[in-house]
Amino acid sequence: MKTALLSIGALLAAAAPALAQGPTDPQIAAIVVAANQVDIDAGRMAVARTKDAGVKAFAQQMITDHSAVNAAATKLVTRLHVTPEPNATSKQLTDGGVANRKHLEPLRGAAFDKAYIDNEVAYHQAVLDAIDKTLIPNAKNAELKALLEQTRPAIAAHLEHAKQLQASHK
């Protein structure tokens, strides 16, 4: 079951070789939007499902923070006249998000909380790896690169917060 929980992180990691070939700025924009939307959707599900105050607060933070990044990214690409270009990685992320929510759907209580948090740890680690190894190095537009660099500390903080929750939900 743990393998299924890590499906989104595994998809992002599996996409790394394709990303390593150098995504374009429009492709990076689509990846950013997809990655944030996946976590927004999972967060909404967790807010609606969990009874655990810590998990609920974390999930709400994911909704708030990732919505803000998507708003900033949308504003930036609109101003730059860049149209996000859907690609294999953005599609894998979106499909992985759907699969994760489908996996979480039948779970309740502590089982749901554990599965949600375990996935958040794996997902945020995979996103950090993609930001560091692929997205920032390949971003050509200075403002897009700056947005990724400004977002990185929040993703790292999300990972640490998720790890703390994970330790308390074993």
Q: Are 104 and 112 in contact (CB under 8 A)?
A: yes
What's residue 5's pLDDT? 41
| pLDDT tier for residue 170 given thresholds of 50, 70 and 90 | confident
Return the domain boundaries, the chain.
Answer: 2-16+26-168
pTM: 0.87
pLDDT greater than 50 at residue 2:
no
55-90 pLDDT, tens digit each? 999 999 999 999 999 999 999 999 999 999 999 999
**pLDDT level of residue 169 (50, 70, 90 thresholds):** confident
Domain 2-16+26-168 class, CATH top level: mainly alpha
Instruction: Examine the pLDDT at 3 and tell me if it is beyond 50.
Output: no
Could you tell me which of 88, 73, 166, 68 has the C-alpha nearest to residue 124?
166
Give the model confidence (pLDDT) of 83-110 as tens digits: 999 999 999 999 999 999 999 999 999 9
pLDDT of residue 4 exceeding 90: no
Q: How far apart are CA 50 and CA 47, in angstroms?
A: 6
